[in-house]
Amino acid sequence: MNRVTGIGGIFFKAKDAPALQAWYKRHLGIDVQEWGGTAFSWSDSNDKPTGGTTIWAVSSEKSDQFAPSQAPFMINYRVEDLHAVAAVLKAEGCNVLDKIDESEYGKFAWVIDPEGNKVELWQPPLGQ
């Protein structure tokens, strides 16, 4: 069974999220959207879309989206079968949070790594 198949997103906190978003937009050309981030679409070596995205987002340092972690970041990893990966991680003694979210954006679960960082696991919808 494949576990992680790629990076689905990088999320981090900022003291002044709007200012940092504006900096990334101005200086690095990142197309920051109203929600605070962007979705980079994947393409092949000929620049043909391949049906996948990597999310990049900045949020307020006051956000609790990374709780229970105290880290100012969270990495989202793509998986093929979220329920299977979560079950294997639990069986291996990993700290997998009990909540699994399912929505039009896919399936999400979280595990806390040995240093207390919250790691997001994401099974995207079919075709992504």
The string of pLDDT tens digits covering residues 27-39 is: 999 999 999 999 9
pLDDT at 110 over 90: yes
How many domains in the chain? 1
Query: Which CATH number do you get for residue 85?
Result: 3.10.180.10
pLDDT band at 85 (very low <50, low <70, confident <90, very high): very high
Chain segment 6-18, per-residue pLDDT in tens = 999 999 999 999 9
CB count within 10 Å of CB 102 equals 12
Please state the pTM of the whole predicted model: 0.87
Q: Is residue 25 part of a domain?
A: yes
Question: What's residue 45's pLDDT?
Answer: 81
- Parent domain of 59: 4-123
Q: Is residue 100 part of a domain?
A: yes
Q: Is residue 128 part of a domain?
A: no
Question: What's residue 116's pLDDT?
Answer: 96
- Distance in Å from the first CA to the final CA of the chain: 19
Burial 21-36 (b: 16+ CB within 10 A, else e): beebeeeeebebeeeb
Q: Is residue 83 part of a domain?
A: yes
Question: What's residue 48's pLDDT?
Answer: 80
Rounded Cα–Cα distance for residues 92 and 111 (Å): 12
Q: Is residue 59 part of a domain?
A: yes
